[in-house]
């Protein structure tokens, strides 16, 4: 079933009336991407359930909504205290929630590295709101929007046992509330939990499934679902679909395609700030300084105080190697939005660059507190504890990252290296082989595996893996150091000289040794030795050839004469 432009427009109005501006913007953007068609007669009354109680309270509601829009949340809640319509109940609860969050944020220390406040002191407003909403829930008086609010409150209180059911009920009642779909995706930890969801038979479900597959790192399935949507009814140039596809390619480390799609999105909507931080990540990885500089300067003109803008500027300075400035902008992004996941993770990366390991650990911990499914933050924690020479802690965090990204070879290689340090060689081998099987992104797994075999004296296995590595280097390249590569070719020369006596292979790898400063002298010596061995072989062959005519010239007649 395809989406209808005008039901989306009506849904955007309903969401805006409740102050759910992010979902309203998402629905509106989707509506704009659809081709124009005349609205049906009376579509607003037909698609929006008019609440008679709300009509009677419209004057109070309208005043409260203007206070809400001016960020006077407590005032808005006060003037809605005597209202009982579903829309008013939601707006009052949402205003109380935002008032408490604003107060908590305002009283948080401006120091990023400050110790977090005690939980009970920062959630008082949530506790009272939870009591009120839970009673309404038991009385079955919550509509879809208030169910969403109830779920958010429970999530903030770390009471997650009811979240899945609440958000399921919410999306069945209010399918256009995109924020609820995103929260529902966050409750899914694997394919089984995704496939057992109770979802409405509606086109929004297809958009959700594509998004959820992306969230769970099922990149190929996510891309296929988005392609199916564009083939069925969504326009190919829909900003939402393009940006989601770009994220798919980004997760698959196809940065060229991700950059191309993000470029098209921002070319069509140059004042856009959403997803600019992810676009800057792509430009950072691709080392595109000019494009990242332009994006950063442009966003400063659009809105310099958006967290995404600060994140882009942080990436810009990070790419230039000005890590202290980069830290300042990532800190600013975190202060503007303490729940901003990307900023905390990137702040941790910059602290690692500055060798400020305690600050990096705290930043990564804030990231996983905001989103426990962020594999980058878990991986960062593993790296920091590895730098602190605390391998058991590093194993724990790398395992967390691996659980979230089971087919990412970087997690497996990191685990293998830690297991090596702990002398768990069999586990290390399994990790390296698994990394090879799932697709070695950085082409390091074979190198680590071969070095481990060599270290353990398992030379035949080492030679087999080094040979495969040499072919991989020839086909795809590698990020390994010249020292590691020269080691590979040196081992293969010695193996073919001492074990297989294959001079052709030995000569091929000796020439490779000459390409690296570390083994240039040895490579030259190998070639001289191979030359001597070839000359010795040639001498022996020539001697055999010279003897053959003498033997063959002894005719039967001569033999007869000699022995007669």
The DSSP line for 89-141 is: HHHHHHHHHHHHHHHHHHTS-S-TTSPPPPHHHH-HHHHHHHHHHHHHHHTT-
% of the chain at pLDDT higher than 70: 89
**399 — pLDDT class (breaks 50, 70, 90):** very high
Average pLDDT over residues 19-36: 90
pLDDT at 329 over 60: yes
Give which of 85, 167, 100 is closest to 130, Cα–Cα.
100
- Looking at residue 421, its pLDDT comes to 93
- Looking at residue 103, its pLDDT comes to 83
- CA Rg, the chain, in Å? 33
Cα dihedral 288, 322, 318, 105 sign: negative
- Left, alpha or beta for 428 (phi > 0: left; psi -120 to 50: alpha)? alpha
- Left, alpha or beta for 143 (phi > 0: left; psi -120 to 50: alpha)? beta
Average pLDDT over residues 306-331: 96
Mean pLDDT score of the chain? 87
Do the Cβ atoms of 135 and 82 come closer than 8 Å? no
pLDDT at 448 over 70: yes
Residues 6+ apart with CB under 8 A from 562: none
Please measure the distance between the N-terminal and C-terminal CA atoms of the chain and give it in whole angstroms. 109
Q: How does pLDDT run across 240-277, given as a tens digit for each residue?
A: 999 999 999 998 889 999 999 999 999 999 999 999 99
pLDDT at 484 over 60: yes
pTM of this structure: 0.84
Structure tokens of 79? 């003037």
Identify the residue with better confidence: 349 or 160: 349
Average pLDDT over residues 449-467: 93
Do the Cβ atoms of 149 and 183 come closer than 8 Å? no
Longest Cα–Cα distance of the chain, Å, equals 140
**129 — pLDDT class (breaks 50, 70, 90):** very high
Do the Cβ atoms of 261 and 249 come closer than 8 Å? yes
Give which of 50, 36, 26, 29 is closest to 6, Cα–Cα.
36
Distance CA 369, CA 364 (A): 9
Interior/surface letters 97-129, b for 16+ CB within 10 angstroms, e for the rest: bbbbbeebeeeeeeebeeeeeeeeebbebbeeb
- Looking at residue 250, its pLDDT comes to 92
- Stretch among 47-51, 288-292, 298-302 having the lowest mean pLDDT: 47-51
pLDDT at 94 over 80: yes
- Looking at residue 561, its pLDDT comes to 36
- Looking at residue 416, its pLDDT comes to 95
- Local structure of residue 518 (DSSP, 8 states): G
Average pLDDT over residues 406-413: 90
Average pLDDT over residues 325-352: 93
Structure tokens of 198? 């109770």
Distance CA 351, CA 374 (A): 18
pLDDT at 479 over 90: no
pLDDT at 69 over 70: yes
DSSP 59-89: HHHHHHHHHHHTT-HHHHHHHTTT--SHHHH
- Looking at residue 41, its pLDDT comes to 62
- Looking at residue 338, its pLDDT comes to 85
Could you give the 3-state DSSP secondary structure of residue 321?
Answer: coil
Average pLDDT over residues 388-399: 95
Distance CA 152, CA 170 (A): 12
pLDDT at 181 over 90: yes
Q: How does pLDDT run across 190-201, given as a tens digit for each residue?
A: 889 999 999 998
**535 — pLDDT class (breaks 50, 70, 90):** confident
pLDDT at 295 over 90: yes
pLDDT at 356 over 90: yes
**Where is mean pLDDT largest: 335-344, 452-461, 468-477?**
452-461
- Looking at residue 545, its pLDDT comes to 53
Residue with token string 């479900």: 205
pLDDT at 224 over 80: yes
pLDDT at 132 over 90: yes
């Amino acid at each position: 079933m395809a989406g209808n432009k005008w039901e989306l427009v009506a849904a955007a109005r309903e969401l805006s009336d409740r102050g759910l501006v992010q979902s309203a913007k998402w629905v509106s953007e989707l509506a704009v991407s659809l081709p124009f068609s005349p609205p049906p007669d009376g579509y607003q009354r037909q698609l929006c359930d008019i609440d008679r109680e709300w009509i009677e309270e419209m004057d109070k509601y309208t005043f409260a909504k203007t206070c809400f829009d001016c960020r006077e949340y407590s005032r808005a809640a006060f003037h809605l205290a005597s209202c009982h319509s579903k829309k008013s109940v939601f707006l009052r609860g949402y205003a109380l929630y935002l008032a408490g969050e604003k107060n908590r944020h305002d009283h948080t220390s401006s120091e990023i590295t400050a110790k977090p406040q005690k939980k009970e002191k920062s959630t008082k407003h949530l506790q009272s709101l939870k009591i009120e909403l839970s009673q309404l829930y038991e009385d079955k008086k919550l509509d879809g929007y208030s169910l969403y609010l109830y779920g958010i409150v429970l999530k903030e209180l770390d009471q997650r046992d009811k979240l899945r059911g609440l958000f399921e009920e919410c999306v069945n009642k209010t399918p256009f509330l995109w924020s609820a779909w995103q929260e529902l995706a966050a409750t899914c930890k694997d394919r089984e939990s995704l496939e057992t969801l109770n979802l409405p038979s509606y086109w929004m479900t297809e958009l959700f499934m594509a998004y959820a597959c992306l969230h769970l790192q099922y990149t190929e399935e996510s891309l296929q679902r988005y392609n199916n949507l564009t083939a069925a009814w969504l326009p190919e140039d829909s900003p939402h679909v393009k940006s989601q596809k770009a994220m798919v390619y980004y997760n698959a480390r196809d940065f060229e395609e991700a950059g191309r799609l993000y470029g098209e999105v921002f070319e069509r909507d140059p004042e856009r700030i959403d997803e600019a931080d992810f676009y800057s990540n792509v430009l950072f990885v691709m080392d595109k300084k000019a494009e990242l500089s332009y994006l950063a300067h442009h966003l400063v003109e659009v809105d310099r105080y958006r967290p995404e803008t600060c994140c882009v500027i942080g990436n810009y300075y990070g790419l230039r190697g000005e890590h202290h400035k980069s830290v300042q902008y990532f800190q600013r992004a975190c202060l503007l939005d303490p729940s901003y996941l990307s900023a905390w993770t990137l702040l941790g990366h910059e602290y690692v660059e500055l060798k400020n390991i305690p600050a990096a650990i705290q930043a990564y911990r804030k990231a996983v507190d905001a989103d426990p499914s962020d594999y980058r933050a878990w991986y960062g924690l593993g790296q920091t504890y590895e730098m602190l020479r605390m391998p058991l802690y590093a194993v724990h965090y790398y395992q967390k990252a691996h659980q979230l990204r089971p087919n990412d070879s970087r997690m497996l290689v990191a685990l293998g290296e830690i297991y090596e340090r702990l002398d768990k060689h069999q586990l290390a081998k399994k990790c390296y082989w698994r990394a090879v099987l799932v697709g070695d992104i950085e082409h390091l797994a074979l190198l680590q595996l071969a070095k481990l075999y060599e270290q353990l004296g398992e030379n035949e296995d080492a030679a087999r893996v080094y040979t495969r590595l040499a072919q991989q280097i020839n086909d795809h390249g590698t990020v390994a150091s010249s020292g590691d590569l020269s080691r590979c070719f040196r081992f293969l020369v010695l193996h073919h000289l001492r074990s297989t006596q294959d001079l052709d292979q030995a000569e091929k790898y000796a020439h490779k040794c000459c390409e690296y400063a570390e083994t240039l002298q040895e490579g030259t010596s190998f070639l001289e030795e191979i030359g001597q061995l070839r000359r010795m072989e040639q001498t022996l062959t020539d001697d055999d050839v010279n003897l053959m005519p003498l033997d063959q010239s002894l005719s039967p007649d001569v033999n007869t004469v000699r022995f007669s």
